[in-house]
Amino acid sequence: MIREQVVARVRQTALSLGAAATGTEWHLFGSVDRDEEDAEDIDLMILCASDDQADSLRRSIDPDALLLPLHLCFLTFSEAAELDAVRIQQSSVIFP
């Protein structure tokens, strides 16, 4: 149940950023993604086209605006591919 609420809030946040979030991919991972009842934080990885886009989003996202504390990880698509981050974190795309 918590996963559903978090996904809705995170998607709402992404949509509210408009053009700043264009071309990004937002991935949920960790305990909330697994919908664990005792989840204590939101693990969110945002893949961006560039470092500049990541910096802009970092400044725009309020980490206190969600249901639980937010742990953000920003990577460019090339960094994520090099690290194989999506597979390693077993993340789920929640935006777009």
Q: What is the pLDDT along the chain (96 residues), one digit of tens a residue?
A: 699 999 999 999 999 999 999 999 999 999 999 999 999 999 999 999 999 999 999 999 998 888 899 999 999 999 999 999 999 999 999 999
**Residue 55: which domain range?**
2-95
Tell how far CA 44 is from the center of its chain.
3
Residue 11: per-residue pLDDT: 97
Tokens standing for residue 57: 């989003």
Calpha distance 79→36 (Å, rounded): 29
How many folded domains does the chain comprise? Answer: 1
CATH code of residue 34: 3.30.460.10
Peptide bond into 96 cis (omega under 30): yes
Q: Can you give the pTM of this predicted structure?
A: 0.95
Residue 65: per-residue pLDDT: 87
85 Cβ neighbours under 8 A, 6+ residues apart: 45, 73, 75, 79, 91
